[in-house]
Amino acid sequence: MAGHAVLTLRLAAPLQSWGGPSRYNRRETQPQPSKSGVLGLLAAAQGRTREASITDLLGLSLGLRVDQPGSLLRDYHTFSDHRGIPLPSAKVNAKGIQTKTSPAKYTGVTQRFYLQDAVFVAALRGPAPLLEHLEHAVRHPRYPLYLGRRSCPPTGPVSLGLQADAELTDALKTVPWQASAHRQRQVRTTDVTLEATVEDPCGDQLAMDVPDTYDLKTGTLFGRRAVRHLWVTLPTGRPAASAAGQTPAAHLDHDPFALLGW
């Protein structure tokens, strides 16, 4: 395979979290996967260390499609030292040892946010040889794959395969709808319209999610990329409504809880 290609991925799990710039005791999630998170998944699949260069991955263009947006989940919990002593503060003394909180603080609170039951399709465009290697790595990962955080392993196969000489928009329009079977049963129409975001130098919006490294010692600085938003219409596989004068099939299989998103 010569030239360029597009690698498509299915990012689905009970929980996902694409953190962005949030830190410390409040870790938020973006509504869609970040480029930093997707490239990190690929680097893990290849077995790259955190200190390894990711220059070749940064050249890949990213497109995302929201097949199932999911809902926001807040994980609220407290923590304390089992010995009953004050918690350490973020400050260190001259010897580099963490000092105790003053006044003494015995209980801390953390809040972490997740997307639950979300499904996304990610498309990455770049040199075909690199994407062939990445596709093989995703199918045979060196390190465990996760969607944003280590507590969020993906559900089912991640790779949806390669498309030769394709554009991001075309790839997002050709991959079948990847929503869960439960969600697909809820939709009664013959097609569904999905939100998508495509990396485009002429895009009218900016995303601040391009990493320079994953090295924990130096920390990560995030760069900007231009993106544009669009809508993609896909067939659902549902049959069209019956002829006039007949009861549509959807009425025969009415689900009142569908209005509640169940």
User: How many residues can be counted in the chain?
Assistant: 262
- Convert the pLDDT of each residue in 70-114 to its tens digit: 999 999 988 898 998 888 887 778 887 888 888 888 898 889 999
Is pLDDT of 1 > 50? Answer: no
pLDDT tier at 243, thresholds 50, 70, 90: very low
Is pLDDT of 149 > 80? Answer: yes
- Convert the pLDDT of each residue in 117-141 to its tens digit: 999 999 999 999 999 999 999 999 9
Across the chain, mean pLDDT equals: 89
- The β-bridge relationship of strands 88-92 and 191-199 is unpaired
How many other β-carbons are positioned within 10 Å of the β-carbon of residue 232? 21
- What pLDDT score does 26 carry? 85
Dihedral sign of CA atoms 158, 164, 168, 174 in order = negative
Q: How far apart are CA 14 and CA 258, in angstroms?
A: 20
CA distances in angstroms from 22 to 17, 25, 96, 110, 247, listed in the order given:
11, 9, 25, 12, 52
Q: How far apart are CA 118 and CA 16, in angstroms?
A: 7
CA distances in angstroms from 40 to 43, 167, 193, 247, listed in the order given:
5, 22, 29, 50
- What pLDDT score does 93 carry? 82
> Do residues 209 and 224 make contact, with C-beta atoms less than 8 angstroms apart?
no
Which residue is associated with the tokens 């004050």? Answer: 86
Please confirm whether the linkage preceding 69 is cis (ω < 30° from 0): no
Strands (E), the chain: 4-16, 26-27, 61-68, 71-79, 88-92, 98-100, 108-127, 159-164, 191-199, 205-211, 222-235
- What pLDDT score does 117 carry? 96
Give the global pTM: 0.83
Look at residues 135, 138, 156, 132 and name the one whose alpha carbon lies nearest to residue 44: 138
> Do residues 32 and 183 make contact, with C-beta atoms less than 8 angstroms apart?
no
Arithmetic mean of pLDDT, 28-33: 93
> Do residues 189 and 240 make contact, with C-beta atoms less than 8 angstroms apart?
no
- What pLDDT score does 25 carry? 81
Which residue is associated with the tokens 């969607």? Answer: 147
Which residue is associated with the tokens 């329009």? Answer: 173
CATH fold label, 4-73+115-181+191-241:
Alpha-Beta Plaits (3.30.70)
Domain ranges in the chain are 4-73+115-181+191-241
Is pLDDT of 152 > 90? Answer: yes
Residues 6 or more apart whose CB falls under 8 angstroms from that of 230 comprise 169, 196, 197, 198
Arithmetic mean of pLDDT, 28-39: 95
- What pLDDT score does 246 carry? 45
- What pLDDT score does 190 carry? 95
